């Protein structure tokens, strides 16, 4: 089934899609500098605050399985506005949290609300564009997306230092309100809503149709490995860089420019080299950086004393490579499902964020942030490389 005629321009689709996608990473990026401070503010343990991030991942991952079908059944715009309202509710709950348990509940609700971003953004691209055009939009979305998380830790760290931890959640309230406004005024409906898609049997049938597509599953595994690692490492990096390396929360926020900045550089390089680097070759180039960065990360943790460069250098290498992987793999994975793009996007996002959640739980379970970081994150990047090999085999067999 061909995509619908474009109801929004490529530029509008890109900007709105990027901002919707960014709600998840920004809500994490702004929050991470405050994690050590929340341990002290609520007189709790590191494990409890790490759990707040894991619950955010869990809500984000699981709710996508609902957000996708809801966007197919009621439309992209209605789904976006409904889930953004949930996100605002969770953010306000965290602002006024009297105990750490309320923080945990607020973060879980935030994750549920933020889940709509990645689902709707990918679906509105798939609804209107295919092939190289869709990959180009995904890449441009990645460039815009990198700016928010790049500045997020810095803004979060500065806000924390100036106004305290509550102000970090107030920033999220503001971002959510801006997205509600943009979705109300500028987001057009790009699909024909069909409420029958929410019928249990039809919903189960849609997910079964997607799940048996081997090429899709391997594409999702690639994204689960490389992008899931970016989310999982957020549970360890604040404690490594602040407690082991000795950075202040503000310095930690500035240091995260190394991660998001290299994603931005990678996205720009992909855009500049697109004429000479075919889309199907870009993931190979990216996985060379992602896989080698993971190996360097493991070696640096176990053979070098922790420092800013020994920790963030390998992170930068992996993140640079991830920018080359995501656009083509996402487009190729969703291509077979124009009729259920929301559900396909949701399942892909669930696997991706689920990997981030599992990785974060493993890091929290291991306990020692540096050792966990040096084992779990490299393993995830190696899984991405193996997933791509499976993707190539599945593509040749189709």
Evaluate if residue 167 carries a pLDDT over 80.
Answer: yes
Residue 216 lies in a domain: yes
Residue 196 lies in a domain: no
Residue 131 lies in a domain: yes
Burial per residue of 123-135, b for 16 or more beta-carbon CB atoms within 10 angstroms, e otherwise: bbbbbbbbeeebb
Q: What tens digit of pLDDT does each residue of 201-256 get? A: 887 888 888 888 899 999 999 999 998 898 888 778 888 988 888 888 778 877 77
Evaluate if residue 279 carries a pLDDT over 70.
Answer: no
Closest CA to 262 of 295, 304, 230: 230
pLDDT band for 184, please (50, 70, 90 cuts). Answer: very high
| 8 A C-beta contact, residue 351 and residue 62 | no
What does 279-309 look like in DSSP terms, one character per residue?
Answer: TTTHHHHHHHHHHHHHHHHHHHHHHS---HH
* The total number of structural domains that make up the chain: 1
Residue 193 lies in a domain: no
Question: For residue 8, is it left (φ>0), alpha (ψ between -120 and 50) or beta?
Answer: beta
What's the Cα-to-Cα distance from 100 to each of 53, 93, 370, 385, 386, rounded to whole Å?
12, 11, 25, 38, 39
216, two tokens: 């899709």
**Does the CA dihedral 350-355-358-360 come out positive or negative?**
negative
Q: Report the alpha-carbon distance of residue 121 to residue 13 in Å, rounded.
A: 8
Q: Report the alpha-carbon distance of residue 8 to residue 11 in Å, rounded.
A: 8
The 3-state secondary structure of 216-227 reads HHHHHHHHHHHH
CB-based contacts of 191: which residues, under 8 Å, 6+ apart?
4, 71, 72, 75, 76, 123, 127, 341, 342
Q: How large is the C-alpha radius of gyration of the chain?
A: 20
Q: Report the alpha-carbon distance of residue 386 to residue 175 in Å, rounded.
A: 37
Residue 192 lies in a domain: no
Q: What tens digit of pLDDT does each residue of 307-359 get? A: 999 999 999 999 999 989 988 888 888 878 877 777 787 788 788 878 888 88
Give the residue numbers spanning the domain of 224.
Answer: 10-185+201-397
- CATH number, domain with residue 333: 1.20.1250.20
**Residue owning tokens 């540096």:** 370
Q: What tens digit of pLDDT does each residue of 330-341 get? A: 888 887 887 777
Q: Report the alpha-carbon distance of residue 182 to residue 113 in Å, rounded.
A: 16
| 8 A C-beta contact, residue 172 and residue 110 | yes
Evaluate if residue 147 carries a pLDDT over 70.
Answer: no
Residue 211 lies in a domain: yes
Residue 2 lies in a domain: no
Confidence (pLDDT) at 145: 62
Evaluate if residue 376 carries a pLDDT over 50.
Answer: yes
Helix axes 46-74, 100-128, angle to 10 degrees: 30
What does 160-199 look like in DSSP terms, one character per residue?
Answer: HHHH-HHHHHHHHHHHHHHHHHHHHHTPPP-S---GGGGS
Residue 102 lies in a domain: yes
The total number of residues written for the chain in this structure: 398
Q: Report the alpha-carbon distance of residue 301 to residue 283 in Å, rounded.
A: 26
pLDDT band for 146, please (50, 70, 90 cuts). Answer: low
Helix, strand, or coil (residue 304) = coil
Evaluate if residue 178 carries a pLDDT over 80.
Answer: yes
Evaluate if residue 95 carries a pLDDT over 80.
Answer: yes
For residue 235, what is the DSSP state?
A: G
Helix, strand, or coil (residue 121) = helix
For 351, phi then psi, to 5°, come to -65, -40
Closest CA to 261 of 361, 355, 167, 153: 153
Q: Report the Cα 325 to chain-centroid distance in Å.
A: 14
Q: For 11, how many CA atoms within 13 A lie in the half-sphere containing its CB?
A: 0
CB-based contacts of 201: which residues, under 8 Å, 6+ apart?
none
């Amino acid at each position: 089934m061909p995509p619908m005629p474009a109801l929004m321009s490529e530029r509008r689709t890109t900007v709105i899609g990027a901002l919707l996608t960014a709600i998840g990473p920004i809500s994490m990026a702004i929050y991470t500098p405050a994690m050590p401070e929340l341990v002290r503010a609520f007189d709790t343990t590191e494990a409890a605050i790490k759990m707040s991030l894991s619950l955010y991942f869990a809500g984000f991952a699981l709710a996508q399985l609902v957000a996708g079908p809801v966007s197919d059944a009621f439309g992209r715009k209605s789904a976006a506005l409904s889930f953004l309202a949930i996100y605002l509710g969770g953010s306000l709950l965290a602002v006024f949290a009297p105990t750490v348990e309320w923080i945990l509940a607020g973060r879980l609700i935030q994750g549920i609300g933020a889940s709509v971003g990645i689902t709707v953004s990918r679906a509105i691209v798939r609804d209107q564009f295919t092939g190289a055009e869709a990959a180009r939009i995904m890449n441009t979305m990645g460039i815009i997306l990198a700016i928010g998380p790049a500045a997020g830790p810095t803004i979060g760290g500065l806000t924390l230092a100036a106004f305290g931890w509550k102000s970090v959640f107030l920033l999220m309230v503001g971002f959510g309100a801006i997205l509600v406004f943009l979705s109300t005024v500028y987001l057009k409906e790009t699909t024909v809503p069909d409420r029958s898609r929410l019928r249990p049997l039809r919903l189960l049938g849609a997910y079964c149709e997607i799940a048996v597509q081997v090429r899709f599953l391997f594409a999702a595994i690639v994204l689960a490995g490389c992008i899931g690692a970016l989310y999982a490492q957020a549970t360890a990096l604040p404690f490594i860089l602040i407690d082991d390396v000795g950075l202040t929360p503000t310095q930690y926020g500035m240091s995260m420019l190394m991660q998001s900045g290299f994603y931005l550089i990678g996205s720009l390089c992909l855009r500049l080299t697109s004429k000479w680097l075919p889309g199907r070759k870009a993931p190979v180039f990216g996985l060379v950086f992602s896989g080698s960065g993971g190996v360097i990360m493991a070696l640096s943790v176990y053979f070098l004393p922790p420092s800013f460069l020994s920790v963030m250098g390998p992170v930068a290498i992996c993140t640079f490579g991830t920018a080359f992987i995501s656009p083509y793999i996402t487009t190729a994975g969703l291509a077979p499902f124009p009729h259920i793009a929301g559900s396909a996007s949701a399942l892909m996002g669930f696997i991706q964020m689920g990997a981030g959640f599992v990785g974060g739980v493993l890091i929290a379970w291991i306990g020692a942030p540096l050792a966990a970081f040096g084992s779990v994150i490299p393993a995830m990047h190696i899984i991405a490389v193996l997933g791509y090999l499976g993707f190539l085999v599945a593509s040749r067999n189709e």
